[in-house]
Homo-oligomer: A and B are copies of this chain.
């Protein structure tokens, strides 16, 4: 992709495709994001071939999901996250352990040695919160308790997944893990999240008047966007996903006095940029996997394991919220998105994954993202209604 003309055509195609897809999805009473992913799958190399993954579109996609998680953080109060802290911790932890165990067993049965099977299983672990965040936002559900649990758990999940990836990678080379190094890495990441979150929100609460002192135009938005980009980058330096840093930046901004003004200003930015993330998710789906029967059945099993184990682990962690809400939380944790793709790429480069397994894992990661929006939409609507035989307090809490 070269030259201003080609780049403009790609951007135009992605944006128009996303908007048409969203419109169709809305009219079919599905979350708009379903239409955006479908538009990507149709426009991508597997079908029409009008769009291809590339550096520029990937960068727009990255910024899109970074700003989305920033906006989600902006609509989230730290106090709400703290209130569900224990449940979120349980959801994050069980939502890592169960998929890891299940996928390790499956990969071993498929003929991989245990150390390789565990590398493959690492691709089943990390939740990618982008899709879920978008569905929650579209359904105006970000203030519900399920949303707070999912967002808190996504942060914990990311830290644990990084730990796990560190362990399995080190198991490939020498069989010897340096536990001290891994411990340091995890403590650094957890420390980054805690220190930035704690200091940032305190400073924001007390000193938000400073945001209006510079003479530049739109100083509040400018400073906060710089914070978002800066923390997104910094979190990648600590081994975490960029969206974790963006979410932290949003949490910090949500404690400022200018919060509502910022929410208002973020809307046009999200309108322009988030479609790139979801359309490119669809573009990256390689439909050729579906044409080989052997790979197709492997993909079906892998996707089933990915969905069921994550759902089960997170559901068990969230049971305190009541069964229906726990189910919604579990479904919200299902998408693996680009994290699974990254692990699979590492595995392919390390010679651990076969090319067939790589294609399956990539397709599985994308399928979990594609399956989530319609199912999560349904479950969130159901969780809204009070249920018989369940703790009514939890159900009421979830409908604030």
A162 within 8 Å of B (CB atoms) = no
Which one of B55, B63, B222, B236 lies within 8 Å of A19 (CB-CB)? B222
The answer on a CB contact under 8 Å between A26 and B215 is: yes
Check A215 against B23 for contact (C-beta < 8 Å). yes
A280 within 8 A of B: no
A242/B5 contact (C-beta < 8 A), A216-B26, A267-B265 known = yes
Query: A117 contacts the other chain (Cβ, under 8 Å)?
Result: no
Contact B9 A233 (CB under 8 A): yes
A11 touches B63 (CB 8 A): yes
Per-position binary interface string of chain A over residues 7-36, scored 1 when its CB falls under 8 Å from any chain B CB and 0 otherwise: 111011001100100110011000010000
**Is A230's beta carbon under 8 Å from chain B?**
yes
Which of chain B's residues has its CB closest to A57's CB?
A: B59
> Which of B1, B23, B60, B268 makes the CB contact (< 8 A) with A221?
B268
Interface size for chain A: under 10, 10 to 19, 20 to 34, or 35 or more residues?
35 or more
Is A304's CB within 8 Å of the partner chain B? Answer: no
Q: Is the CB of A272 within 8 A of B236?
A: no
Chain B residues within 8 Å of A221, by CB: 268, 271
Are B8 and A218 touching (Cβ within 8 A)? no
A210-259 interface (Cβ within 8 A of B): 214-218, 221-223, 225-226, 229-230, 232-233, 236-237, 242
Residues of A contacting B: mostly:
helix
Find out whether the CB atom of A268 lies under 8 angstroms from the CB atom of B218: yes
Are A236 and B4 touching (Cβ within 8 A)? yes
Assess A5 versus B233: contact at CB under 8 Å? Given A23-B215, A56-B59, A216-B23.
Answer: yes
Does A286 reach chain B (CB closer than 8 Å)? Answer: no
Shortest C-beta distance, A384 to chain B (Å), equals 21
Residue A62 is within 8 A (CB to CB) of chain B in the complex: yes
A266 interface contact, C-beta 8 A: yes
